[in-house]
Amino acid sequence: MKPVKRSKLRLWAGKQYFTCRRYWEWLKQGRRGMARIRSSEPLHYPVFEHRTPLMRRLKDVDMWYQHNKVINLRLAVRLWTAFSSVPAKPCPIGE
């Protein structure tokens, strides 16, 4: 089954429509599903955690890519905790 060919105008209009629809749904929901009170205490239960090894030996991939990946993930966690109220604990290298 081949995808339907659409004009550039139709693609643009469709993107605008679905983007506006998504934002409208967010506005209708309001604060439902979000915390009403922000607390400085840590959460009782983890919201998300993973067990993916950060450093892996991959074929035809230099290890410095793996080191850079770990550094980038640490920076992302640091930025996440700075801009959100959800606490995050970064993993040490090699876990």
Q: In angstroms, rounded to a whole number, what is the distance separating the alpha carbons of residues 59 and 57?
A: 7
Question: What's the pLDDT at 50?
Answer: 76
For each of the chain's 95 residues, which pLDDT tens digit applies?
Answer: 898 999 999 999 999 999 999 999 888 877 666 666 777 777 777 777 778 888 888 899 899 998 999 999 889 888 877 777 665 565 555 44
Q: How many CA atoms lie within 13 A of 11 on its CB side?
A: 6
Neighbours of 30 (CB within 10 A): 8
Q: Please state the domain extents for the chain.
A: 45-95
Question: What's the pLDDT at 83?
Answer: 72
Residue 43: exposure state from Cβ atoms within 10 A (0-12, 13-18, ≥19): exposed
Question: What's the pLDDT at 95?
Answer: 46
